[in-house]
Amino acid sequence: MVYPIRLHKTEEGYAVWYPALPGCWSQGQTEEEAIANIREAIKEYLSVAEALVEEGERRYVQVKPRITPTVHTVCCDGGVRSPRRG
């Protein structure tokens, strides 16, 4: 899957977060380090969420997301894509 993230340059390096998952954020001294860290944070967040769901009765609901492109997009295959500029 592809996850749109937000990346912000700070005095210490880079702050990065995935707005769709409350509290899912990370940081790094370089842009590359920050993106690698948020990739791991997203994986861990989703893993914990899945474990919590498995503790109870499971139901499914289909939702069509409405996400607009942001600064960068992290791909599960390790790639990073920037939104198109038109």
The helix (run of H) or strand (run of E) holding residue 50 is: helix 31-54
CA gap 68, 27 in Å, rounded: 23
28-83 pLDDT, tens digit per residue, is: 999 999 999 999 999 999 999 888 877 777 778 888 877 665 555 565 555 555 55
CA gap 76, 74 in Å, rounded: 7
Query: How does residue 85 score in pLDDT terms, banded at 50, 70 and 90?
Result: very low
13-30 pLDDT, tens digit per residue, is: 999 999 999 999 999 999
Sign of CA dihedral 74, 37, 48, 20: negative
Task: Choose the CATH number for 2-81 among 3.30.160.250, 3.30.930.10, 3.40.309.10, 3.40.190.10.
Answer: 3.30.160.250
pLDDT of residue 15: 97
